[in-house]
């Protein structure tokens, strides 16, 4: 019996994709259009938790990145979503990025993107940020700090990205 690998049933391909580590998963997506489509059926939000440890290196220009695997192998990947963006924080496979006046979460494994509404930042060059949980969790809190001194802190936070931003600017410490 002979067959074409691209003719495998979509459900079987999704099961295979679900069991792969990061590098194999990214390679799986590139085989053909049908395999890429099958990989999209794997939960994009849970994918990051299932992957092996990794380290993403981005130079800040273009969309080329390097991924260092837990096996100490370096791979080059193209992530156009990072072009012109600045990474402010990362947590459990999600990146918090600022680019073109917007603040958004991005998962490089699934390419899932979640925009934060009404971004209060006009420039992120002097900001630091953190978030408490993956953006798909109700417990996700985003906190950005613009500047501080021993007596004051200038920050904004968003408790739920469906509700909106809180601006207690220039709080006394």
**Would you say residue 10 lies in a domain?**
no
**Would you say residue 167 lies in a domain?**
yes
**Would you say residue 98 lies in a domain?**
yes
**Would you say residue 140 lies in a domain?**
yes
Q: pLDDT per residue over 19-28, tens digit each?
A: 777 677 777 8
Which domain, by its residues, includes 129?
Answer: 43-172
User: Is the pLDDT at 173 greater than 50, yes or no?
Assistant: no
Span between the terminal Cα atoms of the chain, in Å = 73
- pTM confidence score: 0.67
Q: What is the pLDDT of residue 61?
A: 66
Q: Classify residue 52 by its DSSP letter.
A: P
| Contact of 86 with 103, CB cutoff 8 Å | no
**Would you say residue 145 lies in a domain?**
yes
Q: Classify residue 53 by its DSSP letter.
A: P
Q: pLDDT per residue over 94-137, tens digit each?
A: 899 888 878 899 988 778 898 887 766 666 666 678 888 888 88
**Would you say residue 27 lies in a domain?**
no
Please state the domain count of the chain.
Answer: 1
**Would you say residue 89 lies in a domain?**
yes
* Whole-Å CA distances, 172 to 46, 48, 149, 154: 39, 38, 10, 9
Share of the chain above pLDDT 90, in %: 2
Rounded CA-CA distance 38/28 in Å is 10
Tokens coding 66: 């390097």
């Amino acid at each position: 019996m002979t067959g074409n690998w691209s003719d495998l049933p979509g459900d079987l391909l999704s099961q295979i994709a679900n069991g792969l580590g990061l590098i194999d998963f990214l390679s799986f997506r590139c085989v053909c259009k049908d395999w890429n489509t099958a990989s999209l059926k794997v939960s994009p939000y849970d994918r990051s938790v299932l992957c092996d440890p990794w380290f993403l290196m981005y130079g800040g220009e273009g969309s080329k990145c390097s991924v260092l695997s837990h096996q100490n192998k370096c791979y080059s990947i193209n992530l156009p979503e990072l072009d012109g963006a600045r990474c402010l924080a990362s947590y459990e496979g999600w990146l918090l990025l600022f680019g073109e006046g917007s603040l958004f979460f991005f998962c490089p494994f699934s390419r899932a993107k979640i925009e934060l509404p009404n971004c209060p930042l006009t420039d992120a060059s002097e900001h630091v940020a953190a978030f408490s949980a993956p953006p798909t969790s109700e417990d996700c809190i985003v906190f950005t700090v613009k500047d501080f001194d021993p007596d004051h802190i200038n920050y904004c936070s968003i408790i739920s990205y469906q509700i909106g931003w809180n601006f207690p600017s220039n709080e006394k410490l």
